[in-house]
Structure 1
Amino acid sequence: MDYVIRPVRADEWRSVKELRLAALQDPAAPVAFLETYEESVKRADEAWRERTVNASEDGAGEVRQFVAEAPDGSWAGSVTVLVEGPDVEMRFGEPASVNQGHLVAVFVRPEARGAGVADALFRAAVEWAWSLEKPRLERVRLYVHENNPRAAAFYRRFGFVPTGESVAMPGDPSARELEYEVERP
């Protein structure tokens, strides 16, 4: 694998925007993401800048976005870690009873799939989560749509296990998002 896995930099908002819009056009997007391409493309550049600064290596530490950068500088994929805890307002899912990481916005471009990019992104994200001292995270979780077996299989292969918890899919209460976790070793 010839990709460098690293946190985004504060000034890379255009690349963050481009990758997110590509992800939202992927055929799996309706079961993989909570927003649509149409919603995201309307977001102002200032919102993209703020999102990127907050998730960058220089950000406040409550969010970190990792990207897989190819030798030519293009981005092949991304994953974001949200830091959650009992005193933090939840962005999605059930409230946390412990300090935890929450992996979101997982995407690898089709041409890079099967090359180990997702594994490398997950390793970086989970290692970063375990490296935090304040707050010390006890687990890392994620949600996967019940109709996304390919993603669920990857998460299980990586070591995530179903918790048995689920939440209704925003906008479609008949569909479920299943919670998976990996506990601190």
Structure 2
Amino acid sequence: MSIIIRRVRHEDWARVKQIRLDSLRDPVAAIAFLETHEQAAARPDEFWQDRAARAAIGSAVAQFVAEDTDGRWLGAVSVVVERPGGPGALEGDVVRVEQAHIVGVYVRPEARGTGLAPDLIRAARDWSWSLAEPRIERVRLFVHEDNARAEALYVKVGFEPSGVALPVPGDASHREIELAVSRG
């Protein structure tokens, strides 16, 4: 099976919506997302159109998809640029340097274990390093403390625990663990 990793295009908005809804229905992936299927499904088409348009161009956010030769999307990942002094990802989060934050990592069940997830993460990381402005100093992501499989994947592609652990929104009994990689 031949797969390409590419950045979404603005006309992909319906597919951006569909893969997000699919990811939120997946019981294995549910621990990884802070949004519910019901919340995402209730958003109007204009939300998804804007989301795809912003992720398709510019240097503030990007979304990458893994597409097979039949045009089927097998996975997706997004990356958001965070500026010092700007809002962090979670309550108590502090952005101190120019950084990129990888979010929404998802691979369909039939493509798991194929190396697709590392390829998607590398695409997001490499895009971040390629930005001329801002010059990204580090790339990070958060993983739920009970998601050992995802954490092992992130460590495998070079991310390391930063020592930051923040409460899961709406569930202070659990933590989101930050993993990061700095520019070498």
Q: How does 1:1-185 map to 2 (within 5 A)?
A: 2-56=2-56, 58=57, 60-92=58-90, 94-185=93-184
Q: How far apart, in 2, do the equivalents of 1:38 and 1:139 lie?
A: 33
Percent of aligned positions with the same letter in both sequences? 50
SS of aligned partner of 2:101: strand
Gaps of 5+ in 2: none
Distance 1:38 1:145 in 2: 21
Q: Kindly tell me the number of residue pairs found equivalent between the two proteins.
A: 183
TM-score, structure 2 normalization: 0.96
Query: What value does the CA root-mean-square deviation take over the aligned residues?
Result: 1.1
Residues 67-104 of structure 1 show CA distances to partners (whole Å, capped at 9, x for unaligned) of 00010001000110100011422343612100001000
- After TM superposition, what 4+ stretches of structure 1 lie above 2 angstroms from structure 2? 87-93
Does the Cα contact within 8 Å between 2:85 and 2:94 map onto a contact in 1? no
CA distance in 1, matches of 2:90, 2:171: 14
Report the CA distance shift for 1:164/1:91 in structure 2 as closer, same or farther (over 3 A): closer
Query: Which sits farther off after the overlay, 148-157 or 116-125?
Result: 116-125
The structural deviation recorded for 1:28 is 2.6
Q: Could you list the runs of 5+ residues in structure 1 that have no partner in the other structure?
A: none
Checking the alignment, whether the CA contact within 8 Å between 2:32 and 2:147 is kept in structure 1 is yes
